[in-house]
Structure 1
Amino acid sequence: MIALNIAQIAHAVSGEVHLENGDTLDTVVSGAVDTDSRLIEPGGVFVAKPGEETDGHLFVDAAVERGAALALVERRVEASVTQILVPDVVEAIAALAREVVKTVKDAGDLRVVGITGSNGKTTTKNLLARILEGEGETVSPKASFNNEVGAPLTMLRVTGTTKYLVSEFGASAPGEIARLAGLVDPEVGVVLMVGMAHAGGFGGIEATFHAKSELVRALSAGGVAVLNADDARVAAMAPIAAEQGASVRWFGRGPTATDVRADDVVVTASGTSFTVTADGVSLPLRLRVLGEHHVMNALAAIAAATTFGVSLADAVARLETVEIAERWRMQPLGSERVRIINDAYNASPDSMAAALRTLAQITGPDERTVAVLGAMSELGEYAEEEHDRVGLLAVRLGIQRIVVVGDPARRMFLEAVAQGSWDNEAVFFSTADEAFDYLQGELRDGDRVLVKSSNSAGLRFLGDRLGESFS
């Protein structure tokens, strides 16, 4: 975080100061801000956030032991650290993030880009950050820090020398993206796709469209909306950009992707090769991140980066250094003998379909496809229908072994059986341990194994176990 004195921080968060340890209102604080006491470093700011399972106020002492210089609290605690008392610490860190970003913008040339979409946000964020890091100091979210807590914490990592801030905006309800984007006023907004992820929270696909379009509405006059030309709902956001006085930059694989486009896509087990054309310049790109669907994420990253003046050649060279999108996202594990693809950090109907198609595409004629599938979360009333669709798709793609794990995902198994996956081609297990024991005996040389589920299903750890077992 930039250096601010206690008075400035208290003013930004509208808090009540309780000084300790000889601090004054002029005492300067410049350490990192975090809600996890275990991650606090000397001089840092600890945010005592109440949670569903525990309460951050119980860990103020632990944060002090690690060197916290200041604590944001909702009630005073007995601890030898200056505290700023606020009604809501989540709202406080948002207000502090707004102040920090505005201060840096006013003093320098900080450029801000926001990314949203039903799928692909984290991968696109990582790809764009890799490109921009070659241009100057870049701050981007760790993992999927894209919610009401994670997004402000990322923003608070901005310093006086930061050139680019890449913000990832997730949401499970209307209004959340508008609120988060409003903290930083992005000049570039990237919308990847409108799909069924979190449809239960939004109330359907049209409500999801309106929620994702909040990022475009947050752009100011002179801003740029980077839109997926291949997604009709995203393309329909162009008039919204025009209303804001923002221009549109199109990316995609179809003929309407007039600014950044991919052609001649070839998918292999070691990555995806294609020709990228940006503003009339064409270059070959070999993306090592597994999955044809990541072509669109790469195009989005290129479209945003070139908006900032990055050359296509530099963007391509930097993207070719990326080996994986993120841990647990199409992460290759195991060995050439048994290849495990651990993609179990997140799942939606669209990302599940993309991962299954990738499995089918990268498996050779003498190899076997194995899909280990868990539940997709946050689908609400659409959950049963969408899980059925996944089971149907797995059969239609010819996946040779379908292993469904966890009671919430059972409909995938039932649909696969109903569609013809008999004779143990599809199996079901209630627990990951049972599935692991089965796979230990079932997997053989030449198998290509996809592990895919939402985070809540916990199959990412099953993927790790399988990767280690067959390494």
Structure 2
Amino acid sequence: MITLTIAQIAHAIAGEPVLSAADSLDTPVSGAVDTDSRLIGRGDVFVAKPGEHTDGHLFVPAVAEAGAALAIVERIVDAPISQIVVPDVVAALAALAREVVARVRARGDLRIVGITGSNGKTTTKNMLARILEGEAETVAPRASFNNEVGAPLTMLRVTEQTRYLVCEFGASAPGEIARLAGLVEPDIGIVLMVGLAHAGGFGGIEATFHAKSELVRAVRPGGLAVLNADDPRVSQMAPIATERDVRVRWFGRGDTAEVRAGEIEVSATGTATTVTVDGVDHPLRLSVLGAHHVANALAAIAAATALGVAADAAIGRVESLELAERWRMQPLGSDSIRIINDAYNASPDSMAAALRTLAQITGPDERTVAVLGAMSELGEYAEEEHDRVGLLAVRLGIKRIVVIGVDARRMYLEAIAQGSWDGEAVFFATADEAFDYLQGELRAGDRVLVKSSNAAGLRFLGDRLGESVS
């Protein structure tokens, strides 16, 4: 965090400072800000957030002993550390982020990019960060820091030298993206797609559209909206941009997109295409598996070139990215048995994309194996969408379909109904049972996809399988 005095922090978050004997209101604070006490070191700021399973206030004495400079709390804790008392520490965290970014932005050369979409946010964030890091100091989220806590924590990592801030905005209910993006008013807003991810929380696909369009509404006047020309719902956000004096830059496969891709070739070693940027063709070969990641690359390139990065440089840096993120189309195992661990998250769109990728990268003498778990937060669409996945797996000719968990059972039942009744589809209640089965089932030449939402926990099964066949 940039240097602020305790008085300045207290004013920014409308809190009441309670000072330790060693401090005054003019004491400067410049350490990192976090809600995880295990990450707090000397000079840092601890935000004592109450949680479902524990309460951050219990750890204030520990961070004081670790040398923390300040704690932001909802009640005073008996510990030798200066504290600022606020009614709501999460709201205070957001207010502090707004203040810090505003101070750095006043310098005049900070550029802020916000990213949202039902799928692809983290991959696009990593691609864009890789591009911009080659230009100047860039701050981007760790992992998927995109919620009411993670997004402000990312914003608070900016320094006086930061030139680019990349923010990822996720949401499980209307209004969340507006609140988060409103903290920084991005110069560029990227909307990747509108799908059924979190549709249960939003209340349907139209409500999801309105939620994702909140980012376009948050872009500052004179800014830029980078929109997916291939997604009809995202395309409908263009008038919103125009109303706010925000320009539109399109990416996609169609001829109208300023940044577009040609024919896509997918193999076990990556994805190749030709990218046209403002009328000039460039070859692109991604190490990241899956045709669906081409759209993410297009979005990142569209934003970067709008910021003045040369297209060749942007493409070269995207090509250098070997892995989108851990547990996202992550290759594991060996050449003999390849595991693709894509179980950090799942929606109907990403599940379909991953299954298609599995089919595309598997040779004629190799066998496809799909290890599938539940997709979370689909609400009333859950049964229908799990049925669709089971159907798609059969239609794609997946040779072994391993379904895990009661919430995912409809995938198995649909696969059976579609003709996979001769051992091609199996069901297990737990990941441990599935692991034991797969230990005896997998053989040389297998290409194995592990895919589920985070809550299903299959990412750990993917790790176990990768280790077991290495």
TM-score in same-fold range (> 0.5): yes
Q: Name the CA distance, whole Å, in 1 between partners of 2:304 and 2:78.
A: 48
SS of residue in 1 equivalent to 2:264 = strand
1:185, CA displacement in angstroms?
0.6
1:412, CA displacement in angstroms?
0.6
Counterpart amino acid of 1:317?
G
Q: Name the CA distance, whole Å, in 2 between partners of 1:21 and 1:313.
A: 56
User: Is residue 285 from structure 1 mapped to residue 266 from structure 2 by the alignment?
Assistant: no
1:348 — aligned with what? Answer: 347
Counterpart amino acid of 2:152?
P
Structure 1 residues 101-250: aligned runs within 5 Å: 101-250=101-250
Counterpart amino acid of 1:10?
A
Structure 1 residues 88-99: aligned runs within 5 Å: 88-99=88-99
1:22-58 Cα offsets, whole Å, 9 max, x none, are 1000000000000000011211000100001111111
CA contact (8 A) 1:230 1:256 kept: no
**Greater Cα shift, 223-232 or 106-115:** 106-115
User: Is residue 13 from structure 1 mapped to residue 36 from structure 2 by the alignment?
Assistant: no
Q: Name the CA distance, whole Å, in 1 between partners of 2:83 and 2:284.
A: 51
SS of residue in 2 equivalent to 1:180 = helix
CA contact (8 A) 1:35 1:47 kept: yes
2:379 — aligned with what? Answer: 380
2:41 — aligned with what? Answer: 41
The percentage of aligned residue pairs carrying the same residue is 79
2:448 — aligned with what? Answer: 449
TM-score, normalised relative to structure 2? 0.99
Q: Name the CA distance, whole Å, in 1 between partners of 2:418 and 2:231.
A: 29
SS of residue in 2 equivalent to 1:387 = helix
1:167, CA displacement in angstroms?
0.3
SS of residue in 2 equivalent to 1:213 = helix
CA contact (8 A) 1:216 1:225 kept: yes
Q: Name the CA distance, whole Å, in 1 between partners of 2:389 and 2:10.
A: 50
1:289, CA displacement in angstroms?
0.4
1:76, CA displacement in angstroms?
0.8
2:61 — aligned with what? Answer: 61
CA contact (8 A) 1:108 1:160 kept: no
1:203-249 Cα offsets, whole Å, 9 max, x none, are 00000000000000111221100000000000010000000001100
Counterpart amino acid of 1:365?
P
1:171, CA displacement in angstroms?
0.3
- Unaligned runs of at least 5 residues, structure 2: none
Task: Provide the aligned length of Structure 1 versus Structure 2.
Answer: 470
Computed over aligned residues only, the root mean square deviation of the Cα atoms, in angstroms, reads: 0.6
2:432 — aligned with what? Answer: 433
1:446, CA displacement in angstroms?
0.2
Q: Name the CA distance, whole Å, in 2 between partners of 1:107 and 1:358.
A: 45
Counterpart amino acid of 1:423?
D
Counterpart amino acid of 2:395?
R
1:423, CA displacement in angstroms?
1.4
1:254-306 Cα offsets, whole Å, 9 max, x none, are 2232x100012111001101111111121101100011100000000000000
TM-score, normalised relative to structure 1? 0.99
Q: Name the CA distance, whole Å, in 2 between partners of 1:80 and 1:56.
A: 16
- Unaligned runs of at least 5 residues, structure 1: none
